[in-house]
Structure 1
């Protein structure tokens, strides 16, 4: 893919998506959003891409927020359209991907960068990473799902505090709050992310997809979550993978899943 702000690399089924604007601390602008959408469309379609990591270029920043220079000419309609486009084309597409997408947060994850990380299915952080939603400092609020996902991940009280103060937290604090799953030295961040995804992509793909879908249902507090789980549990019994899994267990061997 010929892209100006995104680098991609596919290795052993894992697509690494690197936001590549290090001179701007990888800030999100319209081009980044459009190119992330292109990459995600390709990721959805191609079977050889089994999982993805999103990270940032350079040692300083994952994504240090949105490109504020693009805000100056926006009115209410333009601001709402910006948020809606980003949520539809990128953030919701990441969250609802049937294949796992995780964030490897290598530095500042602020504003839209924190929201991008939170849209991923889970997050790893380097020891230098910092997280925050500082939009109130601009007279704004998070617009890419931050009010909802931060509350889901760390709870109402702490989420309100962070969004109302605009404070940054460190990687160890993010780990303590449950915002990230692991904190590693910088040089171990991508190897750890790849190792986790190699474990995941060797499980049954249809089951992984249902885990993602049902966990997202649980996160929004939907009333029908238990029934959705019952239905999905039943459907999976009709798959070749479920039969292969049971057979392999009884034969004391590793299963070979085909996503069927």
Structure 2
């Protein structure tokens, strides 16, 4: 009897190994498809009539909170805002490849030295984060954000990246995109934003829940004044999004 049971045991072991291999391959294919999905969406988002939502918008919908977002093309956004956002968020937007490696190395050096780190996210990195990732600080998310930003910079023009960013950025609870933000905070369309209003919106971006562009405190007003001054001399830095 033992001699007869050995082939059965071998056959059972081989079947189990085959099942495990099949499960592993299925998981690998699913992970590969998940990794390629953002790239496929990037190509889709090249089309100007595609107005994608951010992951935060989708979360608001899932939680039945709703949101306000009115898409506008870049041509209908005040140049004051484009200048202010670039000077506040990413002064090297036109020259980097999606990642500002100089700023990134500085942040890594600070972290290794045990110092408090500052943000080094470019507009491209923030755009892919808002479209494809989650909104929390973690090395895992940052590790996914960097390759996505590098790919996005190859797929999208700088103008399209800026258009996407300004139409999905959060400017308050349930307020997404510059048109909704402009009407909510200043009761005017985004095309008519003044230099000061644009600067206030720009400096509220890092923390739009606590920073209210229409009711700025002294600190926010000082930041806005600094960004407004920078924006006046921004011509050499914004050539990639000039009309």
Please classify the TM superposition score into its range, dividing by the shorter chain length.
under 0.3
Instruction: Name the TM-score, length of structure 2 as normaliser.
Output: 0.24
Higher relative contact order (CA 8 A, sep 6+): 2
Name the structure where strand makes up a greater proportion of residues. Answer: 1
Name the structure where helix makes up a greater proportion of residues. Answer: 2
Larger radius of gyration: 2
